[in-house]
């Protein structure tokens, strides 16, 4: 009876997987029939090449027949195992946020994976946990791409990249009263900007009760000292109208605000 041996160049991998099967049996055989339990069969005494399309473990059979008609075969059960590629997926708790709240939780929705690698996009944090959470920088607006790589035990990988965006929070405070009485306290009136504005876009006007412009500025650092005209004559106590326009830093959107400011001396 022939002594039957064979080997495969790949014993595990990702579907579809190419496999080369080599006949290591004695060379006295004249007929060699390969059979795989997915229905594939081929005669070749040197070996065969095939592609295993679907996930699962495959049984391989080699039957040899010698020149005098002696026949034997051998089965290698579950000899080659193939895995499907996983499906990487995740969901952020918020994809658009402001500088006030930059905390994000990432829910892992992947299927068919066993290990995970997260790159959270800000150059600071990577993780191999199943699910992660992260607080992004809150000094400046930004866009961050988060990548999740999901892998199987055979190294089959899938990845997905989603973005989260941190937007400027538009914060401005406008006082309603000031006291320009030369006591070095509360001498100037001006809006106080925090974040979210374009400092080059400011148009600021003060009007008297007749609708005349008595002061204007296009500088966020300049404040009204309660005077009027080039001679800087002090205005009377009372209520004055202000109008302010500016653009957001992250877009071309313009904002218009109006209000009243009181002068007390």
Residue holding tokens 């590629």?
85
- Fold of the CATH domain 90-167: Immunoglobulin-like (2.60.40)
State the Cα–Cα distance between residues 206 and 258, nearest whole angstrom.
10
Domain 6-83 identical in fold to domain 172-263: yes
The C-alpha angle with vertex 153 and arms to 126 and 129, in degrees rounded to 5, equals 25
Beta bridge pairs of residue 261: 240
Beta bridge pairs of residue 58: 80
126-149 per-position pLDDT tens digit: 999 999 999 999 888 889 999 999
Domain layout of the chain by residue ranges: 6-83, 90-167, 172-263
Burial of 76 (0-12, 13-18, 19+ CB in 10 A): middle
CA-nearest of 59, 57, 29, 60 to 45 is: 29
Which CATH number does the domain 172-263 belong to among 1.10.150, 1.10.540, 2.60.40, 1.20.58? Answer: 2.60.40
Q: How many other C-beta atoms are found inside a 10 Å radius of the C-beta of residue 246?
A: 25
How confident is the model over 157-171, as a mean pLDDT?
91
Task: For residue 217, give Cα distances in angstroms to 158, 200, 231, 248.
Answer: 56, 11, 17, 18
State the Cα–Cα distance between residues 222 and 206, nearest whole angstrom.
13
Determine the length of the chain: 265
Q: Do residues 206 and 214 make contact, with C-beta atoms less than 8 angstroms apart?
A: yes
239-250 per-position pLDDT tens digit: 999 999 999 877
**Considering the domain 6-83, what is its CATH architecture?**
Sandwich (2.60)
What's the number of CA atoms in the CB half-sphere (13 Å) around residue 195?
Answer: 12
pLDDT for 223 beyond 80: yes
Q: Do residues 61 and 80 make contact, with C-beta atoms less than 8 angstroms apart?
A: no
pLDDT at 27: 64
pLDDT at 141: 82
């Amino acid at each position: 009876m022939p002594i039957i041996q064979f080997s495969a160049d790949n014993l595990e991998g990702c579907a579809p997987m190419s496999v080369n099967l080599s006949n290591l049996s004695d060379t006295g055989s004249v007929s060699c029939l390969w059979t795989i339990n997915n229905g594939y069969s081929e005669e070749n005494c040197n070996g065969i090449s095939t592609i295993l399309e679907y996930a699962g473990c495959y049984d391989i059979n080699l039957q040899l027949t010698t020149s005098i008609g002696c026949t034997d075969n051998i089965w290698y059960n579950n000899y080659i195992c193939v895995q499907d590629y996983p499906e990487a997926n995740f969901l952020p708790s918020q994809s658009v946020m402001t500088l006030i709240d930059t905390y994000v939780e990432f829910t892992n929705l992947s299927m068919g994976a066993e290990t995970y690698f997260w790159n959270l996009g800000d150059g600071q944090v990577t993780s191999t946990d199943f699910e992660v959470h992260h607080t992004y920088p809150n000094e400046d607006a930004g866009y961050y791409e988060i990548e999740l790589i999901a892998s199987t035990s055979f190294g089959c990988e899938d990845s997905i990249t989603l973005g989260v965006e941190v937007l400027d929070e538009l914060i401005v405070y406008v006082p309603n009263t000031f006291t320009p009485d030369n006591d070095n306290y509360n001498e100037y009136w001006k809006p106080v900007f925090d974040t979210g504005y374009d400092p080059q876009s400011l148009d600021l006007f003060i009007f008297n009760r007749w609708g005349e412009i008595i002061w204007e500025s296009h500088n966020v650092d300049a404040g009204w000292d309660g005077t009027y005209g080039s001679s800087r004559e002090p205005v009377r106590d009372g209520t004055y109208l202000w109008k302010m326009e500016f653009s957001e830093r992250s877009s071309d959107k313009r904002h218009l605000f109006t209000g009243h400011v009181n002068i007390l001396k």
